[in-house]
Chain A
Amino acid sequence: MTAAALLREAPRQPAFERAALVTLFTVFLYADRWTSRLADVLPLPVVIGGTLAVIAAAIAFRCQRRPAFWLALAGAMFAALLGTWWTTDDHVFLIAYWVLALGLAALEEDPAAALARHARLLLGLVFLFAALWKLLSWSYVSGGMFHYQLLVDPRFARLTQLTGAVSAADLAANFAHVDALRREALPGATLTSAPIVGTLAAILTWATLAIEGSLAALFLLPERTVPAWVRDGVFLSFLVGTYLLAPVLLFGVLLVAMGIAQARPRAATAYLVALVWVYLMAVFFSASFAR
């Protein structure tokens, strides 16, 4: 790998360009962790203006097509992860793997095809491991994990509330019981539940396992053996369903970037709609939890 190859500009390909620009947006969201700290010491307009200037400069210099840009970014991300890996969420690692994949793909003769291969492989592995660890966990397969989340996690408790079986006051009390258990070293706490919550937990448990297992197979099987519309359809359904319940903005936008990289050109619009969906759900949830 020569310096000239690293610094060259990959040929313009719409599929690669779309994925690279959505990834830049993801990196911009990720950078919010530092910009919010900068905002403590610098005036907010300066921080916002500076961040936008960096992104604009990156696009103006066509950094999104340059291997050196992505590889340097990946290097910085891995360096940042080294000292804090055990306190870091999965999707932050996935950004680093994906940025590395962009850099390596930009070095290839056909960057779009190379990036599509990286996307399918990384997404397939993510869903394979996600499904495998769930299948091996008794807490998960017994339905206990989702049953617990439906009673104490505000995101899932909304679903419980829709059943009408457990009131909002009881759900708030459940959360208070668990919080007290942690804060006051209590021996245990019994939560308010209802039989339908167990049924709902069982549905969520097996539906999640089914869709994650399916996505692992769809992305890891040889490309020609699975019609692209099936892969995109199932993945888009996953994005819409998951982010209706648990909208983690950064993870959602990253999955859209990876999805768009491997999608047929006709499906690209659907992924951009999914990007808007993920963003709106995150804003909606963030506003509703702030109330």
Chain B
Amino acid sequence: MTRLWRWLPAIVLCAVVLVQRVHVYGRTLTPWMGAGFSMFTTTDDPFARHLRCTALAADGSELFRSARPTRTLSAAMLHLPTPSRLAPIAAELAGTRCDAPPDIAREVRRVRVDVWSLDFRAADATVLPRLVAGVERDVP
């Protein structure tokens, strides 16, 4: 057996780790997933990832903000939120105007759909949302 075969599992492991880091640093992948062996390195775990929908007026001001329970979303969308993955749900939420009450919904011209994570500030034990990725879409 050639030397390369003997190293194959280790080479594959290192190659996948490299791909995972590229996606963590450059493409919003949660460090807890994708075989980089970086679980428990940050508070940005799959549980922390969540979706928020912001309804915007014609001048861009925020009218209403709502969160979607993650069970209605695919894990793929939250773990690695790319514009193409967020586009279908942005289209769906543009149709419902982020589920805004009827009096506000009339004013909504655009929606922003963002995936957020959670940061922890140990000094005062405060959990703060942190924007990971998002897309905007006009309402139909």
- Smallest CB–CB gap between B116 and chain A, Å? 8
Chain A residue nearest to B46 (CB atoms) is A87
B61 near A: Cβ within 8 Å? Answer: no
Name the one of B6, B13, B66, B79 contacting A125, with C-beta atoms under 8 angstroms.
B13
Within 8 A of A (CB), among B34-81: 34-44, 48, 50, 52, 65-67, 69-70, 75-76, 79-80
**Contact residues of B between 1 and 23, Cβ < 8 Å to A:** 1, 5-10, 12-14, 16-17, 23
Q: With A145-B43, A182-B50 given, is the CB distance from A151 to B36 under 8 Å?
A: no
A88 and B119 CA atoms in complex are apart in Å by 22
Return A238 CB to nearest CB of chain B, in Å: 14
A185-B52 contact given A86-B76, A108-B1, CB 8 Å threshold: yes
> What residues of chain A lie closer than 8 Å to B80, measured between beta carbons?
86-87
Q: At the interface with chain B, which of A32-40, A41-49, A93-101, A267-275?
A: A93-101
Q: Which of A90, A125, A183 lies at the interface centre, i.e. has the most chain B CB atoms within 10 A of its CB? A: A90
Q: Which of B89-97, B102-110, B121-129, B132-140 contacts A (4 or more CB under 8 A)?
A: B121-129
A148 with B127: CB separation less than 8 A = yes
Within 8 A of B (CB), among A128-148: 129-130, 133-134, 136-137, 139-140, 142-148
CB of B111 closer than 8 Å to a CB of A: no
CA distance A92 to B118 in the complex (A): 25
CB neighbours of A133 from chain B (8 A) = 31, 36-38, 41
Assess whether A164 is interfacial by the CB under 8 Å rule.
no
A90 with B35: CB separation less than 8 A: yes
Say whether B87 faces chain A, with CB atoms less than 8 Å apart.
no
A-side interface mostly? helix
Given A1-B1, A114-B6, A122-B9, also A151-B125 (CB < 8 A): yes
In the bound complex, how far is the Cα of B33 from the Cα of A93, in angstroms? Answer: 10
Minimum Cβ distance to chain B for residue A184 (Å):
6
Q: Tell me if A181 and B118 are in contact (CB < 8 A).
A: yes
* A93/B35 in contact, CB under 8 A: yes
Q: Does A126 count as interface, using CB distance less than 8 angstroms?
A: yes
Q: Does A193 contact B (CB under 8 A)?
A: yes
CB pair A86 B126 closer than 8 Å: no
Contact pick for A145, options B1, B7, B41, B76, CB 8 Å: B41
- Inter-subunit contact B66/A185 (CB<8 Å): yes
B86 at the binding interface (Cβ < 8 Å): no
Nearest 4 pairs of A and B residues by beta carbon: A93-B35, A133-B38, A148-B120, A193-B125
A-B contact pairs, 19 of them (CB 8 A): A87-B75, A87-B80, A88-B33, A88-B35, A92-B35, A94-B13, A100-B9, A100-B12, A122-B13, A129-B36, A129-B37, A134-B40, A140-B40, A144-B120, A145-B42, A178-B118, A182-B67, A183-B69, A186-B129
Interface residues of A (CB under 8 A from B): 1, 84-90, 92-94, 97-98, 100-101, 104, 107-108, 114, 117-118, 121-122, 125-126, 129-130, 133-134, 136-137, 139-140, 142-149, 151, 177-178, 181-193, 198, 201, 208
